[in-house]
């Protein structure tokens, strides 16, 4: 089975659908047409640039260049996590919590997958490292963003309850334990739903791409199982790290709730 190459006209035809959707948004006064078109434009530009960068890296395959691309992806993901928060942490913590938690989770899971499971040679092969890391970062980013948003929002809404527990002699961990649990549950819901529906309601993206590229369907399904399980682990570890670091930063050394470390609500 040969891969059918897409022409610029094919892509332009698919873009018309997004333009029609934006026009419908304008007609219905949904107010999302601008964001939709900007997001679509970013998708096109970013993926074209990524394709050109990966084409260059496939030729060079230099570890330093690959590491720089991986770190760039991590920092962009950290920024996106910060940008999605209604009340984000001020200062370096705003981007640092998400970036650090995704580094701990996504990079660790990716390294384990490449060295122990897939056993790619070399382990930093662009063909495996960048796509795998990209999928893990993208999904972990969503879980971390949701978990952090729920944590800070609930801490702000329930601040009197938390402070009352502190005054009763509870530690900071006991005072915010319930909100941490709720934040973690919220962060894990998207990946749990995705795993529950995989192969029944939806055909996951990686499997679809491999089948379209001509890979045997059963081999594609095995790779998709691997990816889904890795994403679930990465999302869980990342959300746990983010919620623990974030909740710890909500209190000072004297275990006082410090909501002044959060920004004003983002409209």
pTM across the whole model: 0.81
| 3-state SS class at 194 | helix
Helix axes 126-157, 93-102, angle to 10 degrees: 130
Task: Report helix, strand and coil shares of the chain as percent, to nearest 5.
Answer: 75, 0, 20
Provide the b/e sequence for 119-154 (b: ≥16 CB within 10 Å).
ebeeebebebbbebbbbbbebbbbbbbbbbbbbbbb
- pLDDT tens per residue across span 91-102: 899 889 989 999
Q: What is the 3-state secondary structure (H, E, C) of 115-177?
A: HHHCCCCCCCCHHHHHHHHHHHHHHHHHHHHHHHHHHHHHHHHCHHHHHHHHHCCCCHHHHHH
- pLDDT tens per residue across span 143-155: 999 999 999 999 9
- pLDDT of 162 over the 90 cut: yes
Band the pLDDT of 178: cuts 50, 70, 90: very high
Instruction: State residue 19's pLDDT score.
Output: 94
If you average pLDDT over residues 106-113, what whole number do you get? Answer: 90
What gap in Å lies between CA 262 and CA 252, rounded to an integer?
13
Band the pLDDT of 165: cuts 50, 70, 90: very high
* Bigger pLDDT: 200 vs 104: 104
- Residue 137 vs residues 104, 128, 182: alpha-carbon distances, Å: 11, 14, 22
- pLDDT of 120 over the 90 cut: no
What gap in Å lies between CA 179 and CA 4, rounded to an integer?
50
Residue 229 and residue 223 in contact, taking contact as beta carbons nearer than 8 Å:
no
What gap in Å lies between CA 176 and CA 264, rounded to an integer?
21
Q: For the chain, where are the E strands, in sequence order?
A: none
Instruction: State residue 3's pLDDT score.
Output: 65
């Amino acid at each position: 089975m040969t891969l059918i190459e897409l022409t610029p006209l094919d892509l332009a035809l698919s873009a018309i659908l997004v333009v029609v959707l934006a026009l419908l948004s304008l007609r219905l006064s949904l107010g999302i047409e601008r964001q939709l078109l900007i997001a679509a434009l970013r998708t096109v530009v970013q993926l074209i640039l990524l394709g050109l960068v990966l084409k260059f890296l496939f030729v060079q395959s230099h570890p330093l260049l690959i590491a720089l691309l991986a770190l760039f992806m991590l920092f962009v993901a950290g920024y996106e996590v910060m940008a999605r928060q209604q009340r984000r942490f001020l200062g370096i913590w705003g981007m640092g919590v998400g970036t650090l938690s995704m580094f701990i989770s996504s990079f660790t899971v990716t390294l384990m997958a490449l060295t122990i499971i897939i056993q790619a040679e070399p382990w930093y092969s662009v063909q495996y490292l960048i796509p795998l890391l990209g999928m893990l970062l993208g999904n972990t980013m969503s879980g971390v963003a949701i978990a952090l948003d729920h944590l800070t929002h609930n801490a702000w809404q329930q601040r009197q309850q938390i402070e009352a527990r502190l005054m009763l002699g509870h530690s900071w961990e006991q005072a915010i334990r319930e909100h941490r649990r709720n934040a973690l549950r919220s962060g894990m819901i998207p990946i749990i739903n995705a795993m529950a529906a995989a192969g029944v309601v939806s055909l996951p993206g990686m499997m679809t791409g491999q089948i379209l590229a001509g890979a045997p369907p059963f081999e594609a399904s095995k790779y998709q199982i691997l990816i889904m399980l890795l994403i679930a682990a990465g999302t869980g570890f990342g959300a746990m790290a983010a919620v623990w670091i974030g909740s710890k930063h909500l209190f000072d050394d004297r275990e006082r709730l410090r909501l002044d470390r959060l920004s004003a609500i983002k409209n």
